Amino acid sequence: MTPMKPRSSLFVLGLVFAGVSCGSDAEQSVETAAIVDTVANEAGTTMPPESTEAESTEAPSTTTDGIVRISVTVGVDSGPDRVEEVSVGDSVELTVLNPDEDDEFHVHGFDLGGDETPAGDEKVFAFTASEAGDFEVESHATGDVLVVIRVS
């Protein structure tokens, strides 16, 4: 009699192909990697992949010369879930870019913005985070919140 492959291997391979058809690209990569690592381990033990977290697309803020620098590109690393934290009294330099269309940017609570910025040009706001709270940076062209600056 010919030995049969264990059903669990076939089931896992089926999951690899099924996982490709649903979820976001980032979810698919993580799920597929976990399944492939399990199948590839011939010793019979299950080892998790090295990292199961998707890479962040957010540009991190940087602090140099005592200035907190935050860079945001509309549609690339922007969104209401992006929160940049600074301390009361910090000097902030916020650079905003809309590569696709003319735009006006507003930093609510600091009354900054209102000037039209041509597509592809950067708008730089320099200010001191003088009071605590959450302050939204908004695109006039899209109406979207690009980033929230949390001052504490």
- Nearest of 54, 52, 33, 50 to residue 12 by alpha carbon: 33
Residue 8 token pair: 């669990």
pLDDT digits (tens, 9 = 90+) for 22-32: 343 444 333 33
* Sequence-ordered list of residues with C-beta below 8 angstroms from that of 11, at least 6 positions apart, any chain: none
Read off the pTM.
0.59
> Quick one: pLDDT band at residue 111, thresholds 50, 70, 90?
confident
CA angle 124-128-132, nearest 5°? 120
Instruction: Report which secondary-structure segment, H or E, holds 34.
Output: helix 25-40
